[in-house]
Structures are given as structure tokens and as C-alpha cells.
Amino acid sequence: MADPFLVAHHAAPRVFDISGKLSPVSVRDQMIRGQLFAQRAEAAGEITSKPGEGLLILGAGAGGVAAGITAASLGVPTTVLEPSPYPFRTQTRCSTRWIDPTQYDWPLDHWVAGQFPLTGLPPPLPWRSGFATHAAAFWQTALQSFLIGGGSPLLDLKLATTFINCQCPAGASNIQATYFAQNTLQTHSYGAVLVAVGFGTENIQVGPTYRGFAFWESDLFSAPNWGMPGSAAPRIVISGAGDGALQDLLRIMTRLDSAKDVLDGSGVSAGAAMQLKDLDRAAHGAMAWGAGPQHDHAWHAFLDTECRRLVRFELQQSAVRQKLATMLRHMPQHIELIHSCTHLTPLYVLNRFLAWLIAEYLKEEKGVSLLVARTRLTSVASATSGHICTLSPAACHGRAHEIELETARDCRNSTLPSSTRKAIKDVIVVRHGITAPAQAIQNLTPAVRPRQILPPFIL
Amino acid sequence: MEFRRIQETSERPRFAPEGAFSVNSSLVRYIDVRSYPPELIPSKIDQYFSDQQSDQNGLKGVAVAVPQSSSALALSLAARGIFLMVGAASEPLEAVLERCRAQMEFIAAAGPRAPGFTPSARSPDLSPPSRTQSPYAQKPAHFDEAAYREWMGLLSKPWHEEDAWKSET
């Protein structure tokens, strides 16, 4: 019987894909997928220790290297091709994004430990919560330790390498892959090829000249006074309602690095935690198998409603209000998060709940509307003398820009009279999701569902 | 060669540019090559560890270098049993080695990465079909030749174009 995991990720003869349309998933999820793929492919005899039956992996990110270490540790000669000069380049370059292998498993037992897995087999790349660049340093250490500990003959990382193509007629016992490495064109045979190259292109540009900080880019949101020169009060807008937008909202509002810290500081009850976990489980099941805008809209609206119901209950507790007052005492004076529909759109309920907790608290306490629905960012232009936007977020950060906001249709595409307004903002965060590869390419793995998080206990 | 014991005295820095430090209850030799010109670093490291036997984990020692523009040196040293730790030239050696110790001990505590470099045990009853008969060697039912060709084209695109913005930071 065919392995369901391999079948789901099977894209072409002897080619498997754990990237493409999966977004948004977590770093941990990619590692689990890489590890599972190597274990299952070896168990199925698709990759072996015999010459010409090894594994070729495209991409030396967390998922690709996790797969590589796992395969090599099973005796399978494994080659990893990486176009850049070092592995884990996405996280290595990002010193401001906090990542945590268990942040969204709340309130499972290993959540408190900040370490994954709590028990069971060691992962190929162990890590604990921290800034992305620190996590990448742990992975680098694990990789070097693996090579030093006997993995070197079996795991070959080829850096600064250009993949050319691979050829495998149906029914062939091997796949031929060609790449350009160390100034030579090379063709070798493998048992399988695993594609682990990420999810596509992040949408962070508005108009031809403005670009916001990317999710995995070192930003200035945690800098003193949010990176503004002097003591000027920044006027901040965040455009988007997914996990990236809400993570940045929480960081900017509380000066805390992670949703976990915000929750810890909020004094929310254990009872609410359990209810949220149920919501989280339901959301992960439903969103992964959704069937279009109507379905998504109904689910997001339901999750928002449930989170707000819990928030109203929690805000009746004076301890929670006191803790929120303390946590938000240094929040920016001018900030709003605009989003295009009537609801937020994160995959993780914890982000959704915390955003609503802060928004409802501010509404009751100060009459401030933090979350602005049915609004879309349509243009950004410099309003600072001598400053020209050139797709450089660090240069634009903290400078006055005129933005145009449009009344948006909701995500079911219902009609609404369009109106626009303009505003001046100094910090503009753009989190407009990720554009996956073309639909035809996504259809190469129709059984893989986007937004599907593998359960942490699967290994 | 005997390990040079580090003396904690007020007259000298706690960590000299060459010496040994404790990781996972064993002494590991190290060399700090941050002050060397890049072209001399590989030979200096090789020379320093040339007479060093690997420990049971295959580790000969740790080299401390400034941050590299590529992992090529780290990978080539790892193949020879040497762990490369990077730290800014201004960072005290003691701090770099402490980070190294913390990372290596965390990795070791998480358990062995390699279950022996041997294939998993497979029951004879569960022997896979011949490679040519494997379902994964066939075109999946949903296979689209044109999409596959387009995909291969995307995968071979230079990464610099795809995320050139990352180099700005």
C-alpha cells in the first residue's frame, strides 16, 4: 500500500515537494515534513544506500536540512543543493523575529518548555525559542555536529549551486539531476528528489516604489521609540490581518517579542486557554480543508466572534485589565491595523485572541479603534521633503508618507460603494500574504492542503 | 601534545588565543583565528589540529573565526572533525566559547542525531516493489507535463532575482 504522506507530496516521477502551496505553516512544520519524508521514503525503498539511489534535496533551509540529516542518518547518501552561500539563510539574516517551536501549541504540556519535541525521538535540528538568527545558530551547530559525528561522508551540502533540471521517464529506477556546482556542470543519479524551496513571494510592496519590511527581515519595530528619530511620536499603520500582521501588532503594542510573552503578561485564565485550544483545533481542521472564500469567510467570522466572546469575559476580571494596562503603558499613541474584510485572518487562534483582547480593552478604556475593518491600503508616497521611496524599507521607516486607504469589499467579493481617504504615517507595515507559485504548479500536488499544520505528536 | 591548562590569573586573559575549554565534561581544544588574514585561516587551523586525535564524537576541536560570508569553511572543517564557531572580532573570546559550549551542550542533550547510519530494519514481507514498479516512479494521476516544465524553470532561476531585497539588510 502506498504511503499516504509520500502520495500527498508526490509531484512527478521520483520528485516530491514540501514547499509550494503549503503556506502558511511554521518552521517546525517544515522540519517535521522533511524528517517524515526522509523516514518514509527510506522505509519505502525509494531512497537507499546503493549507488545512484540516494536523495537529492533542493534547498538548505530548515526543512531541507532536516530531511538531509534524517536521510543520511539512515545510511542514504544525500546531496543538498543551496543557491546561496550558506544554509538557513532566511532565518540567519533576521535578528528581530522571535520564533518558538511550541508557541502555538498552547496549552499542551510542551508549550511551557519552549522546546520541541518534549519527549520522543530527537529532531535533526533541535532548537529552542529565540530570535531567528539565534535559532539558525543552533541549527548550524547541529549540522556541523552531525557532520563531525560521522555524517560527513553521507551528507554533502553544495552551497552556491545552481540547479538546472531533472529527468525521469515514468517507470525509471533513478532520476537524473543536473546542476552547476564548483564551476562544473554535473549530472548524477538519485533515488528521489525532494523540493524544499519555500512558499513563494511575500507581498510587501505597495505601488512601484514603496516596500515594507519583509517578515524574515531585520526590522526596526522593536527599536527604541519604534525606530523613530528623536522623541517624535510615530504614526503607525499595519496593513493585513494574518499571522504576520498580528505578530507585528503585538510586538509594536507591547514591546514584547512573542505571543507567548503577551499571553503570559495578560493574566488570562486557564479556562479561556482551554476554550481557545478547542477553537484552535477546530480552525486548523476547517481551514486546511476549506473550499473557497464563502467557507473561509464564515469560519473567520465565527472564530472572531468566539474570540471576542472570550475577550469580553476576560475583561470582566480586574486582574486582566490591570495587567493589560501595565503591558500597554508604553504603546504608541497613533496606531491602527487595517484589514480588508470584516474579520481577521490568522491561522493561529492565539494571535487572533490577543489582538482582540488588546483591541477591545483599548476601545473600552480609551475609546480607541485599533482594528479598522473593510479598509485597504492602495498607495504610499513620500511626504517628506528630500526623501524618495526606492523600495528600501529602512530608508522609508520613520519618515512621513501619505497613504491612500480605500473602502474594501469583503472577501466574498460583495459589492460596496468605494470611497477613499488619505492619511500621513511614519511607519507602514505591509503584510499582504504570500503569492504561491502558479496554480498549475500548485496542482502538481493536489492532495497537499495549504494551511495544514502537522500535529506535533506525529513523529 | 598536552592540552594547555588555562590558568585564571589577573596577569593574563582568562582565555588565550589557543588552549582548551570544557564542553560536555571533556576538554576540547580551540584556536582563535579572528586576527588572521582570511587566506591564512585554513592552513593555520589545519596546522594547529594536525596532531590532534578525534574524540568519540569525531571532534578534534573548535576554531573561532569572524563571521563568514559563506558556510564553505564551516562545512570543510566539519568534514575534518573541526567545529567552526563565529564571533565578531570585538566579542571577547570567553563569550564566544561560552556560546559554543551552550549550543553544543544543548544539541548533545537533545539526543543523538544519527541512529547509526544504517538503513531502517524492514520486514522481508514488506519489501518494496521493484524500483521500476514503484508508484512513485510513475507519473501521478494529476501529472501535468507543462506545469512540471514551468516548475523546473522556476527552480533553476537565480535566487538573487527572487529575493534580492534580502541583501539590503
Instruction: Using a pLDDT cut of 90, give the percent of chain B over it.
Output: 60
Cβ contacts (< 8 Å) between B137 and chain A: which residues? 13-14, 168, 170-173
- Contact between A72 and B117 using a beta-carbon 8 Å cutoff: yes
Q: Is there a single domain that holds both residue A246 and residue A110?
A: no
Contacts of A200 (CB under 8 A, 6+ apart): A20, A23, A434, A435, A436, A437
| CA–CA gap between residue A350 and residue A104 (Å, rounded) | 7
- Calculate mean pLDDT across residues A415-431: 90
In a domain, A261, yes or no: yes
pLDDT band for position B52 (50/70/90)?
confident
In a domain, A450, yes or no: no
> Does A96 touch chain B if contact means CB atoms closer than 8 Å?
no
Q: Tell whether the model's pLDDT for residue A268 goes beyond 70.
A: yes
Q: Tell whether the model's pLDDT for residue B11 goes beyond 60.
A: no
Structure confidence at residue A49 (pLDDT): 95
In a domain, B38, yes or no: yes
| CA–CA gap between residue B65 and residue A300 (Å, rounded) | 50
CB A272 within 8 A of CB A321: no
DSSP lists the bridge partners of residue A157 as: A80
> Does B104 touch chain A if contact means CB atoms closer than 8 Å?
yes
CB A450 within 8 A of CB A22: yes
Higher pLDDT: A302 or A1? It is A302
- Contact between B83 and A84 using a beta-carbon 8 Å cutoff: no
Cβ contacts (< 8 Å) between B79 and chain A: which residues? 147, 152
Name residue, grid cell 548550524.
Answer: A140
In a domain, A451, yes or no: no
In a domain, A453, yes or no: no
In a domain, A452, yes or no: no
Structure confidence at residue A171 (pLDDT): 94
State the CATH number of the domain containing residue A178. Answer: 3.50.50.60
CB B22 within 8 A of CB B12: no
pLDDT digits (tens, 9 = 90+) for A323-374: 999 999 999 999 999 999 999 999 889 999 999 999 999 999 999 999 999 9
Q: Is there a single domain that holds both residue A171 and residue A183?
A: yes
- Calculate mean pLDDT across residues B144-148: 95
Provide the ipTM.
Answer: 0.89
Structure confidence at residue A277 (pLDDT): 82
Q: Is there a single domain that holds both residue A196 and residue A277?
A: no
**What range defines the domain where residue A325 resides?**
201-435
pLDDT band for position A423 (50/70/90)?
very high
- For chain A, how far is it from start to end, CA to CA, in angstroms? 20
In a domain, B161, yes or no: no
pLDDT digits (tens, 9 = 90+) for A91-105: 999 999 999 888 777
| H or E segment to which residue A146 belongs | helix A132-146
Q: What's the burial of A38, exposed, middle or buried (CB within 10 Å: 0-12/13-18/19+)?
A: buried
In a domain, B122, yes or no: no
Q: Which three cell numbers stand for residue A302?
A: 465565527
In a domain, B10, yes or no: no
Q: Tell whether the model's pLDDT for residue A120 goes beyond 70.
A: no
pLDDT digits (tens, 9 = 90+) for A9-52: 999 999 999 998 887 788 989 999 999 999 999 999 999 999 99
In a domain, A405, yes or no: yes
Average pLDDT of chain B to the nearest whole number: 83
CB A271 within 8 A of CB A320: no
In a domain, B41, yes or no: yes
Q: Tell whether the model's pLDDT for residue A68 goes beyond 60.
A: yes
Structure confidence at residue A416 (pLDDT): 67
Backbone angles phi, psi at A310, to 5 degrees: -65, -40
CB A102 within 8 A of CB A115: yes
Q: Is there a single domain that holds both residue A169 and residue A296?
A: no
Q: Which of B26, B151, B154 to mutate to test the interface with A (most CBs of A within 10 A)?
A: B151
Name residue, grid cell 530570535.
Answer: A131
Structure confidence at residue A200 (pLDDT): 86
In a domain, A345, yes or no: yes
Picking from A170, A197, A443, the nearest residue to B137 by CB comes out as A170
The number of folded domains in chain A is 2
Task: Pick the residue from chain B with its C-alpha nearest to A41.
Answer: B136
Chain A / chain B CB contacts < 8 angstroms = 213
Q: Tell whether the model's pLDDT for residue A298 goes beyond 60.
A: yes
Strands A401-407 and A420-425: antiparallel
Q: Is the dihedral of CA A244, A250, A253, A258 positive or negative?
A: negative
Structure confidence at residue A292 (pLDDT): 77
- Contact between B117 and A75 using a beta-carbon 8 Å cutoff: yes
**What range defines the domain where residue B36 resides?**
18-109
Cβ contacts (< 8 Å) between B57 and chain A: which residues? 145, 148-149
Average pLDDT of chain A to the nearest whole number: 92
Picking from A2, A11, A39, the nearest residue to B135 by CB comes out as A2
Q: Tell whether the model's pLDDT for residue B166 goes beyond 70.
A: no
What SS3 state is found at A359? helix
What SS3 state is found at A371? strand
In a domain, A428, yes or no: yes
Strands B82-86 and A184-190: unpaired
In a domain, B65, yes or no: yes
> Does B56 touch chain A if contact means CB atoms closer than 8 Å?
no
In a domain, B57, yes or no: yes
| CA–CA gap between residue B35 and residue B55 (Å, rounded) | 27
- Contact between A144 and B132 using a beta-carbon 8 Å cutoff: no
pLDDT digits (tens, 9 = 90+) for A129-188: 899 999 999 999 999 999 999 999 999 999 999 999 999 999 999 999 999 998 999 999
| CA–CA gap between residue A259 and residue A282 (Å, rounded) | 20
Q: Is there a single domain that holds both residue A147 and residue A248?
A: no
| CA–CA gap between residue B21 and residue B19 (Å, rounded) | 7
Q: Which three cell numbers stand for residue A106?
A: 498552547
CB A99 within 8 A of CB A139: no
In a domain, B159, yes or no: no
Q: For residue A378, give the nearest of A349, A331, A419, A350 by alpha carbon.
A: A419
Looking at residue A400, its amino acid is A
Structure confidence at residue A113 (pLDDT): 67
Instruction: Using a pLDDT cut of 90, give the percent of chain A over it.
Output: 73
Structure confidence at residue A223 (pLDDT): 93
- Calculate mean pLDDT across residues B13-29: 88
The number of folded domains in chain B is 1
- Of the listed ranges A111-120, A144-153, A262-271, A428-437, the least confidently predicted one is A111-120
Q: Is there a single domain that holds both residue A116 and residue A16?
A: yes
